[in-house]
């Protein structure tokens, strides 16, 4: 996919990992994201298997590993990201069974994992059919829960972004997208997922929202 291209560059994983540590605000946001993921995982009460889809440099691996869930998996479309993650996390990295592949066609059987996390990937999917396909794949390989983080509306940052786009006009290709909450609800339902909880990075301000989604057919 067009947005995936840069992730294959050899030096991109390091630049991406550094980005989250560069300024005080980014470090604070990273800490808050890790805490939100930990809260999501508590809601899921996962005990046997967890998968991190679109894992990147494994930013969330310490939080995922801290659950004591024995079977940890990670997938990314970029081999450069996977190698970086394994090296960067040393012994902890060895606990993850990694695979290269796309969220649009996951190389796992149905219900392979108790909980599946897909963080900071779906906001790249502006095309609704593709986003639904990705959500459908996440739901297919999850037995109980899917955790996603993405950009939603109803906050200051999304309002500011919409104003900017109105002023300068939308570019022919946008890399990241604010997906209205109502649209997301319909996409989740289409994938057989129902919102159990959500957490905002900074309520009313930030575009980042974490959703804990339950599988309709496991209820």
Ligand X SMILES: C[S@@+](CC[C@H](N)C(=O)[O-])C[C@H]1O[C@@H](n2cnc3c(N)ncnc32)[C@H](O)[C@@H]1O
Under the rule (CB under 6 A), what is the footprint of ligand X?
1, 4, 7, 54-56, 59, 76-78, 81, 102-104, 119-121
H/E stretch holding 81 reads helix 79-88
Torsion sign, CA atoms 102, 107, 108, 109: positive
Instruction: Answer whether 46's CB lies under 8 Å from 145's CB.
Output: yes
Specify the residue for token string 């999850």: 142
Smaller CB separation from ligand X, 39 or 163: 39
Min separation Cβ 56 and ligand X, Å? 3
Min separation Cβ 78 and ligand X, Å? 4
Smaller CB separation from ligand X, 2 or 217: 2
Min separation Cβ 49 and ligand X, Å? 18
Smaller CB separation from ligand X, 102 or 206: 102
Instruction: Answer whether 71's CB lies under 8 Å from 46's CB.
Output: no
Min separation Cβ 19 and ligand X, Å? 9
* Longest Cα separation, the chain: 50
Smaller CB separation from ligand X, 123 or 215: 123
Min separation Cβ 81 and ligand X, Å? 4
Residue, CB closest to ligand X: 56
State how far the alpha carbon of 18 is from the alpha carbons of 109, 151, 166, in Å: 34, 21, 32
Smaller CB separation from ligand X, 29 or 166: 29
Q: How far is CA 180 from the centre of its chain?
A: 17
CA distance linking residue 30 with residue 36, whole number of Å: 10
CA distance linking residue 48 with residue 69, whole number of Å: 5
């Amino acid at each position: 996919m067009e947005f995936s291209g840069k992730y294959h560059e050899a030096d991109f994983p390091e630049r991406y990992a550094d980005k989250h540590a560069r300024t005080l605000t980014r470090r604070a946001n990273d800490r808050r994201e890790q805490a939100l993921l930990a809260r999501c995982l508590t809601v899921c009460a996962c005990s046997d298997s967890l998968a991190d889809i679109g894992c990147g440099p494994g930013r969330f691996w310490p939080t995922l590993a801290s659950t004591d869930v024995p079977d940890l998996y990670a997938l990314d479309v970029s081999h450069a990201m996977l190698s970086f993650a394994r090296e960067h996390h040393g012994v902890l990295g060895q606990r993850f069974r990694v695979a290269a592949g796309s969220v649009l066609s996951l190389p796992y059987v149905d219900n392979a994992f108790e909980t599946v996390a897909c963080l900071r990937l779906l906001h790249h999917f502006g095309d609704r059919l593709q986003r639904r396909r990705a959500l459908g794949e996440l739901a297919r390989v999850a037995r109980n829960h899917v955790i996603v983080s993405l950009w939603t509306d109803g906050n200051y940052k999304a309002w500011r972004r919409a104003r900017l786009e109105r002023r300068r006009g939308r570019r022919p290709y946008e890399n990241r997208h604010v997906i209205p909450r109502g649209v997301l609800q319909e996409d989740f339902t289409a994938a057989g997922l129902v919102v159990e909880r959500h957490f905002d990075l900074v309520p009313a301000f930030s575009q980042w929202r974490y959703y804990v989604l339950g599988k309709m057919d496991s209820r």
